[in-house]
Structure 1
Amino acid sequence: MNIERMRGDVAEALAEVAEEPAAFADDDNLIELGLDSIRLMSLATRWRAAGFEAGYLDLAMEPTVAAWARRLEASNVVEERR
């Protein structure tokens, strides 16, 4: 999985909860923008299936694309070392 897919998935999830989803920056708090727990769980499940090593609580603790991208990079480094 890559960050572009992550951004697209987040935009899709936000579109489901907001009549007019605003553009979001990588450091915006996605919960404050309307991302609810159900959609956050859905993203976590989808991304775990794609190999992203993060669960719901990991995502909820720091709900920004920037934080998730850092976690994705860290998990990719671990994968490369294996």
Structure 2
Amino acid sequence: MDESETADRSGTAAFLDALRVARNGKIGIGVGVAFAALMYVVRVFELRGPAPDGVGGPFLFLALAFVLAFGTALLVTIVLTVVSAYRAVRRAA
């Protein structure tokens, strides 16, 4: 590795630290998993009424819960990172 690759990586790491991406990712994963678990419990235990016939069983809902958790985690992480970037720009101005 030459100096430009090392400098670029440290700059990227500093940029990600300034935007607090790691923290935002952890929050996003927590929110995504909690939301998906809640939706899974509501649907599988039929807390809001029975599912229509032929919709699928608990294993299908588990697969959908994984997709929901991932999508929600990604969305929350992006939103929090955009908010962090906005605050960093406002502080710099």
Q: Same fold (TM over 0.5)?
A: no
How high is the TM-score relative to the length of structure 1?
0.38
Question: Which of the pair is proportionally richer in helix?
Answer: 2
- Greater RCO structure (CA 8 Å; 6+ sep): 2
